A and B are shown apart, each in its own frame.
Chain A
Amino acid sequence: MTHDDDDMLRGLIDTLLPGGHGFPAAGATGMAGQLAARLNAADTALLGRLHTGLRTQGALPGGAEAWHDTVARLEASEPKLFDEVRKHAYLTYYEQPGVIAAIRALGFRYNDAPLPEGYPAEPFDAAADAPRHARGHWIATEQVQPVDTNRLGLEATP
């Protein structure tokens, strides 16, 4: 990743994920290099297209407001490119240790990875959780009868 790429990605991710509500700004997590590698793995031309797209939409680098306007224009003009980059940015962000700590601070049990701990729960409690209703019906094989489809205007296609 070039210095230009690095500056561009830091500006972009801090615009997408600026921090707040106890969550760090994306740039502060140190994820830019990892994101660049993933974008490159998805499509070797992606970083170049992103760079070109951002430069086309506004003079970079700039302040936070300029970045916001530039990214908004990129989203409107190249939605597929933007969606792909945003997807990778979000996924990368939410696996950073500082971000996981912020999720836990919201009150959730949240493991770094699904296993080995998992999220064990008390076994099914039939007294509390079993349905008490008697709803539901099914039609026995010998009781399946033709229905009137005339008014549906449907035809089997060949």
Chain B
Amino acid sequence: MSKPDPVDVLVIGAGASGAVCSLVLAQAGLRVVCLDQGGWTEPAQHPHYSDDFQYQRQNRWNPEPSVRRGPDDYPVEGGQSHALMWNGVGGSTNVFAALWPRFRPSDFRKGREHGLAPDWPITYEDLAPFYDEADRLIGVSGLTGDAGMPPRAPYPLGPLPMRKSGRTIAQGFERLDWHWWPMPAGIISDSYDGRAACNGCGNCGSGCPRGSMAKMSITLWPKALAAGAALRPGARVERIETGSDGRATGAVFIDRATGTRVQQDAAVVVLAANGVGSPRLLLLSESARHPRGLANANDVVGRYLLHHTLVAAEIWVDQPIDSHVGNSGAIISSEFAETDVSRGFVNGFNFNVARTGPAGTAAIGAFSQHPAPWGAAHHAWFARRFGHSFGAFAIGDDLPQASNRITLSGTETDSDGLPAAKLHYVPHENDLRMMRYGIERLRDLAQSVDAFDAAVNDYMEDGVYRTPAWHMLGTCRMGSDPGSSVVNQWHQSWEVPNLYVVDGSSFATGGVVNPTSTVTALALRCARHLAAGFRDAGRTAGTSA
């Protein structure tokens, strides 16, 4: 086994949070090495320039690794939900929508509000400056003045174009007298930081080879490398090693180009491998001293998996609204975001509303799961409906449950023989009530735009909720109590004090929004803290908090 020189910080995972940490820590003068099992995705590799781009989205650009089965991937076993994940430089920002809304203050206080979920050990106010800084770093487009959110710093860029679909949707919300606002986006509406403005190509789900979206391999990694961070693609981490004192000493990884094992020692290990990959790696790092896996004496690692609740509708209107162009989210509505127990449940949900997709995607019913009819009726269906639809998601705050969890598969492995992740997720009764309520409000929305048809998707198959909610959160959650959480408010492991878990797994609750803005802000906050107190980093978790 080869053993390169030790470094100050070893970052595992080159996605959004790993990129932020590598950048900030390298800028602080620390020696940083980041490992990722995948490689770089060059702009020409994206499907945007090819006429088979819709077909590619279904296979090699499928966001789900168990469908894609690329050489950089590991399987995620379990049929109850789908995991959006890209293993490579930039991580899942290669396949995300770059919707960039923030958590609300009450999202951090669900313990006080109803006690069915914990309080975070931090507040919205603790995170707000880092949201603002991350927005400037990434280049976020949006409109200030939203009465549904706390006042904030100006967006670096104005909102993306509204287009026909956005105006139609906004009119529907107006008729309902519901809140709506232009969706904040990690997509630049004008040239920014040397990158070209979005030209509305409509293929956000397969990344952005132009760099208009916040694809971290384009937006952040060049800066991190320029600051001195070292990045090793094709480095699949096998386990995090610990010393006799219980502290992390680094990690052993497989160099996938040569098949050789390498031991990279470091003073501090930052785990940033997403809400599935991070608990998987901690569980893979079991030892005599850590028989349940690393940082898991309390058996919390992998538990409390959150996906968000999700129900959706595809809504067809008479007028053409160019359903195939523009970004993935034009409008957000926070009308139902706060708890109102008169609805029969706690927590709330937002609406994300936007375009549906290009012709083939529309015909297969990718959004609504209602494909176009075959035979003589097909073309009349298409001529009536293509370009006339928009999609609406009700995305809600699901309750954390210990039984929803990531474990190690007993049957499947990755290409190096490491156990795959196994995912178990069943919604809470509160989540089901919220989804049923959301479906009725989606029907209200369809009525408000004078839709001639609407197809509601509750994602139920044979009585089982098979969510495509994509997000993977909560599996190494932060907290104030070492008995019921994995990390403290600074993402520092209670059990292994020089180990930090800095990705969506550290969320205590999921909020009602797409999570990457919060993942990025949390990573920035953690990295600044770590850089400022690096000499003290890795002392007792309770005292450094």
Task: Identify the A interface with B (CB < 8 A).
Answer: 15-23, 38, 41-42, 68, 71, 83, 86-88, 90-95, 99-100, 103, 106-126, 128-131, 133-141, 144-149, 151-152, 154-158
Contacts and interface: CB of A to CB of B under 8 A. Distances in A.
A100 B376 CA distance: 19
Given A110-B324, A110-B359, A133-B174, 20 more contacts: A16-B374, A20-B379, A71-B374, A86-B371, A91-B361, A92-B360, A111-B201, A118-B198, A119-B201, A119-B325, A124-B162, A129-B162, A129-B170, A131-B181, A135-B148, A136-B179, A141-B123, A141-B124, A146-B114, A149-B114
Q: Which 3 A-B pairs have the closest CB atoms?
A: A136-B148, A118-B199, A94-B360
A116 B200 CA distance: 11
B429 interface: yes
Given A95-B52, A106-B383, A119-B199, A87 B364 contact: yes
Nearest to B148: A136
B202 interface: yes
Contacts of A90: 360, 363-364, 371-372
B98 to A, nearest CB: 15
Contacts of A121: 161, 163, 200, 325-326
Given A21-B380, A135-B177, A136-B149, A118 B201 contact: yes
B194 interface: no
Contact of A158 (B104, B124, B320, B403): B403
15 contacts: A15-B374, A21-B383, A42-B59, A83-B371, A87-B371, A113-B50, A114-B203, A114-B358, A117-B201, A123-B158, A133-B180, A137-B147, A138-B337, A147-B114, A149-B346
B100 to A, nearest CB: 15
Contact of A91 (B48, B113, B124, B364): B364
B150 interface: yes
Given A17-B374, A20-B380, A21-B380, A94 B363 contact: yes
Interface string B56-69: 00110000000000
Interface of B: 48-55, 58-59, 104-106, 108-109, 112-117, 123-125, 143, 146-150, 158-163, 166-167, 170, 174, 177-182, 189-190, 198-203, 209-210, 320, 322, 324-326, 334-335, 337-339, 341, 344-346, 358-361, 363-364, 371-372, 374-376, 378-380, 382-383, 386-387, 399, 401-403, 428-430
Contact of A23 (B125, B320, B382): B382
Query: DSSP majority for the A interface?
Result: loop
Nearest to A97: B51
B160 A124 contact: yes
Query: DSSP majority for the B interface?
Result: loop
User: Could you say which of B54, B201, B359 has the most chain A C-beta atoms within 10 Å of its C-beta?
Assistant: B359
B113 A144 contact: yes
Contacts of A134: 147
Nearest to B338: A139
B147 A154 contact: no
Contacts of B334: 136, 138
B148 A138 contact: yes
A23 B379 contact: yes
User: Could you say which of A116, A117, A131 has the most chain B C-beta atoms within 10 Å of its C-beta?
Assistant: A131
A20 B428 CA distance: 48
Contacts of A112: 51
B379 A145 contact: no
B181 A136 contact: yes
Given A16-B378, A138-B105, A152-B341, A157 B143 contact: no
B359 A124 contact: no
A136 B147 contact: yes
User: Could you say which of B116, B124, B320 has the most chain A C-beta atoms within 10 Å of its C-beta?
Assistant: B116
Contacts of A38: 55
Contacts of B146: 136
A11 to B, nearest CB: 13
B386 A106 contact: yes
Contacts of A145: 112-113
Given A135-B147, A138-B105, A139-B104, A154 B430 contact: yes
A109 B337 CA distance: 36
Nearest to B343: A152
Contacts of A125: 162
Contacts of B161: 121-124
A156 B399 contact: yes
B403 A157 contact: yes
A91 B199 contact: no
Contacts of B378: 16-18, 20
User: Could you say which of A94, A114, A158 has the most chain B C-beta atoms within 10 Å of its C-beta?
Assistant: A114
B273 to A, nearest CB: 27
Contacts of B428: 154, 157
A119 B158 contact: no
A106 B42 CA distance: 35
Contacts of A146: 112-115
Nearest to A105: B383
Contacts of B371: 83, 86-87, 90
A123 B544 CA distance: 47
A137 B148 CA distance: 4
A103 to B, nearest CB: 6
Contacts of A136: 146-149, 179, 181, 334-335
A93 B108 contact: no
A32 B325 CA distance: 29
A24 to B, nearest CB: 10
Nearest to A21: B379
Nearest to A156: B116
B185 to A, nearest CB: 11
Contacts of A144: 105-106, 109, 112-113
B509 to A, nearest CB: 13
A140 B113 CA distance: 12
A147 B162 contact: no
Nearest to B428: A157
Contact of A118 (B189, B200, B372): B200
A138 B199 contact: no
User: Could you say which of A41, A100, A119 has the most chain B C-beta atoms within 10 Å of its C-beta?
Assistant: A119
Given A138-B149, A146-B112, A152-B341, A114 B106 contact: no
